[in-house]
Amino acid sequence: MKLEIWFEFASTYSYLSVSRIEELLNGTQIDLAWRPFLLGPIFRGRGLDTSPFIIDSIKGAYMWRDMERCCKKYGLPFVRPPIFPMNGLSAARIMTAALSETWSGDFARLVFAAQFGCGADISDEAVLRRVLEDCDVTPDEWFAKAKQSLTKSKLREATEQARTLGIFGAPSFLVGDELFWGDDRLEDAIALAHVL
Amino acid sequence: MKLEIWFEFASTYSYLSVSRIEELLNGTQIDLAWRPFLLGPIFRGRGLDTSPFIIDSIKGAYMWRDMERCCKKYGLPFVRPPIFPMNGLSAARIMTAALSETWSGDFARLVFAAQFGCGADISDEAVLRRVLEDCDVTPDEWFAKAKQSLTKSKLREATEQARTLGIFGAPSFLVGDELFWGDDRLEDAIALAHVL
């Protein structure tokens, strides 16, 4: 069965799921589909001009402490980045262009690790360049593909599809027609993908 | 170590934690403290005039499906009640008056089971009367205690304390000075209470 992970590069809890999912699926027959999209247009369509964690400072403060604890639990490095939410547009376009590449999962994990493990600014081309080099591909080639109008329109379509699916946050998981929201539901989504 | 469960009788996810917590703590040395409070004043202080699940219908629709799945996972009965959110004031006052009674946990579980397991209206005195009878106590005595000004002021103070603790939803768990939000964090809260 197929499991789709819908994620946004600026999303804190997406870091947890993107970092965990491949190991959890290792040895299973579940077919993983990476579905990068942009939360900004989804939030704006819901009347929010930024992350709910910025609008609601009490919930935001809780989220950062919760992230510290979750990263410790999962053995993931964590630093609170100096900017939140970061602009993940370039990363999302590269990921969109690279979806059929074997290294796309590595790219996603490394971008999140740079951001939430090291505090790096993922809108900085130099940061993405290092990640692409770590994936053993030519950065210039993938920056060029990211800027193609086909890539841009694919990402816009993915975001529109997320809205149609009723996705309102990230990460979300789709298994058949069941939608799960949040890193806390990753195991449940996998359990369903096993039996469907 | 002490673990405080802060809950609101109208809260869907509080049903999960209130139903699960005593079994999870069975055989441990953890001291459970029931902390009923009212979410209404907390929400109003945050500019919300009702449940976020009503204000945000997309998230609300997701929550009901998520509750169905969670109840199935935990082996809890579930029906979507005809009213949401219900008025849990009377139940919260009875619980506040009964906090030092051995049956207070039974009362909480039975009120939630009536609401989310059977769809009963927990603002209906007849429903609470049956729950009190199932706890083997005299309903009239506890309705009277619930209406005492000392009980009312204790519940108001608990709600004010919740706000001071940074609680913004239910269930929340307090272990030492660590606050956890949501049924998904119950196991983490218990794990911390084991080592503190």
**pLDDT score of B121:** 98
Question: What is the structure's pLDDT at B47?
Answer: 87
pLDDT value of residue A67: 98
Percent of chain A beyond pLDDT 70?
100
What is the crossing angle of helices B149-164 and B89-97, to 10°?
100
In chain B, beta strands by DSSP E: 2-7, 31-36, 172-175, 178-181
**CA B41/CA B61 separation, integer angstroms:** 24
CB-CB: which of A59, A179, A184 is closest to B168? A59
pLDDT at B84 (0 to 100)? 96
Tell me the percentage of chain B whose pLDDT exceeds 90. 95
The pLDDT tens digits of the residues spanning B32-57 come to 999 999 999 999 988 888 999 999 99
Average pLDDT of every residue of chain A: 97
Task: Spell out the long-range contacts of A122-128 with Cβ–Cβ below 8 A and sequence spacing 24 or more.
Answer: A122/A9, A122/A10, A122/A86, A122/A87, A122/A88, A122/A90, A122/A91, A123/A86, A123/A87, A123/A88, A123/A89, A123/A90, A125/A90, A128/A90, A128/A91, A128/A94
Residues A79-120 pLDDT 10s: 999 999 999 999 999 999 999 999 999 999 999 999 999 999
CB contact under 8 Å between A181 and B62, yes or no, is: yes
pLDDT of residue A137: 98
Average pLDDT over residues B94-103: 98
Q: Dmax over Cα atoms in chain B, in whole Å?
A: 43
State the average pLDDT over residues A128-136: 98
Active site (annotated) includes residue B149: no
**What's the mean pLDDT in B79-95?**
97
| pLDDT value, residue B134 | 98
Place of tokens 């009878």: B133
Question: What integer is the mean pLDDT of B160-186?
Answer: 98
Q: Is the ipTM of this complex over 0.90?
A: yes
Report pLDDT digits (tens) over B116-140: 999 999 999 999 999 999 999 999 9
Helix (H, G, I), strand (E, B) or coil at A180: strand
Closest Cα partner for A35 from A90, A91, A92? A92
User: Using the 8-state DSSP alphabet, how is residue A174 labeled?
Assistant: E
| pLDDT in the model for residue B160 | 98
- CB contact at 8 A, A1 and A30: yes
A61/B168 Cβ within 8 A: no
Task: Quote the DSSP letter at residue B117.
Answer: I
Give CA–CA dist A111/A10, Å, rounded. 10
Report pLDDT for B99: 98
Chain A residues whose CB is inside 8 A of the B69 CB are 178, 188
- Residue of chain A whose alpha carbon sits nearest to that of B69: A188
The arithmetic mean of pLDDT across residues B161-175, rounded, is 97
Instruction: Please tell me what DSSP assigns to residue B138.
Output: -
List beta partners, residue A181.
Answer: A172
Q: Are strands A178-181 and B2-7 parallel, antiparallel or unpaired?
A: unpaired
DSSP code, position B147: T
Query: What is the number of residues in chain A?
Result: 196
Provide φ and ψ at A100, rounded to 5°: -95, 5
B31 and B2 in contact (C-beta within 8 Å)? yes
Given a cut of 90, whether residue B196 has pLDDT beyond it is no
Domains and CATH numbers, chain A: 2-195 (3.40.30.10)
* Residue A46 pLDDT: 87
Collect all residues with Cβ–Cβ distance below 8 Å to B134 and sequence separation of at least 6.
B106, B110
Residues of A in contact with B185 (CB under 8 A): 66
What 8-state DSSP symbol labels residue A116? I
Predicted confidence (pLDDT) at residue A47 exceeds the cutoff of 90: no
In this structure, which amino acid lies at residue A195? V
Given an 8 Å threshold on Cβ–Cβ distance, is A46 in contact with B62?
A: no
The one catalytic residue among A11, A14, A19, A90: A11
CA distance B140 to chain A (A): 40
Q: What value does the mean pLDDT take over residues B53-79?
A: 96
**Whether B182 and A184 lie within 8 Å, measured CB to CB:** yes
